[in-house]
Amino acid sequence: NAGVTQTPKFQVLKTGQSMTLQCAQDMNHNSMYWYRQDPGMGLRLIYYSASEGTTDKGEVPNGYNVSRLNKREFSLRLESAAPSQTSVYFCASQGRAPGSYEQYFGPGTRLTVT
């Protein structure tokens, strides 16, 4: 049981390049999330998916797209990277069992855009 996995762990992009961050969970969770973490700002929600086939914008969706490929996988795409997107990106999932409201986080992807 690996929990939430993310690839890659590190990435350096040049301005204008594109890339996709991959996330997968093996806990049969319905909800999945993408956050970015910046110093002094905590975690900010980029997009989330409440269930397979649905996605919704969070606080900071501009410049990103997502795909909920199936129940396990939720990817984040940067179509044209900008230096402002330099950040650490975390994927998380959450179950629907009664009383289970906590999120489970992946190890993160550290992205630098030059």
Partner 1 sequence: AQSVAQPEDQVNVAEGNPLTVKCTYSVSGNPYLFWYVQYPNRGLQFLLKYITGDNLVKGSYGFEAEFNKSQTSFHLKKPSALVSDSALYFCAVRDVYNFNKFYFGSGTKLNVKP
Q: Which residues bind partner 1 (CB under 8 A)?
A: 4, 31, 33, 35, 40-45, 48, 50, 56, 58, 90, 92, 94, 99, 101-108
* Distance of closest approach, residue 25 Cβ to partner 1, in angstroms: 12
21 or 108: CB nearest partner 1: 108
Q: Which residues contact 42 (CB under 8 A, 6 or more apart)?
A: none
> Among residues 80, 39, 87, which one has the least CA distance to residue 62?
80
> Among residues 44, 69, 46, which one has the least CA distance to residue 56?
46
* Distance of closest approach, residue 69 Cβ to partner 1, in angstroms: 18
* Distance of closest approach, residue 42 Cβ to partner 1, in angstroms: 4
78 or 92: CB nearest partner 1: 92
14 or 40: CB nearest partner 1: 40
87 or 106: CB nearest partner 1: 106
Give the span between the Cα atoms of 62 and 103, in whole angstroms.
23
* Distance of closest approach, residue 39 Cβ to partner 1, in angstroms: 9
44: which strand partners? 36
Q: Buried b / exposed e across 17-47, counting CB within 10 Å, b at 16+?
A: eeeebbbbbeeebebbbbbbeeeeeebebbb
